[in-house]
Homo-oligomer: A and B are copies of this chain.
């Protein structure tokens, strides 16, 4: 039953295709836009077209970029010797917000996920190996997500990198989030926090006081 004017139904339908927007939200947004100033809607429409026209992926690190190279690759003030390997361009933004990393990045464009048919060939792994052959990198920090896919990907890349004997490979620490509560931490996270504990005073600590978990990394 078509009770809305056709263009409105088309818009509700198009909005409903976006991730995280159900039919009710789509309707709500469409009616909001109907009442909003014409220029505001035009600006949104233009922004949409613009990202397809003006944004692409950096040819070197696969971050989002306005030209062939992204802002970070173009920044000559960054350390060429250390590389953070991430799954998605948005992970770069998260790492940049810490303000603690001044090296370069490499975006894999996903993580290994056999169930969805994503293997290393679907990711930018080959391109990473090519970069390492060309560039003078001596440390790689694996910053994939701490979930099954991310850990698998990190393990795969760590194994691949074992042939590059001049490169130190590290992995983001797993542990308790800052401001968190021990009581609310899940067993896996707490287990990782134990494993990765940092020694404040050290008198040749006996190894394996904590049973290592069967982590893949």
Residues of chain A whose beta carbon lies under 8 Å from any beta carbon of chain B: 1-8, 10-11, 13-15, 17-21, 25, 27-34, 38, 40-55, 64-66, 70-72, 88-90, 92-93, 96-97, 99
How many angstroms from the CA of A66 to the CA of B29 in the assembled complex? 19
CB proximity of A28 to chain B, nearest CB, Å? 6
How many angstroms from the CA of A21 to the CA of B70 in the assembled complex? 27
Residues of B within 8 A of A70 (CB): 5
How many angstroms from the CA of A18 to the CA of B111 in the assembled complex? 31
How many angstroms from the CA of A48 to the CA of B13 in the assembled complex? 11
How many angstroms from the CA of A145 to the CA of B174 in the assembled complex? 50
Q: What is the total number of copies of this protein in its complex?
A: 2
Q: A7-B55, A15-B44, A41-B52 are in contact. Are A27 and B97 (CB under 8 A)?
A: no
**Closest residue of B by beta carbon distance from A38:** B52
**Closest residue of B by beta carbon distance from A64:** B5
CB proximity of A58 to chain B, nearest CB, Å? 9
B7 touches A92 (CB 8 A): no
How many angstroms from the CA of A88 to the CA of B43 in the assembled complex? 26
How many angstroms from the CA of A4 to the CA of B55 in the assembled complex? 10
**Closest residue of B by beta carbon distance from A22:** B20
A7 touches B97 (CB 8 A): no
Residues of B within 8 A of A8 (CB): 51, 55, 64
CB proximity of A48 to chain B, nearest CB, Å? 4
Q: A31-B89, A71-B5, A90-B31 are in contact. Are A48 and B51 (CB under 8 A)?
A: no
CB proximity of A11 to chain B, nearest CB, Å? 4
B27 touches A90 (CB 8 A): yes
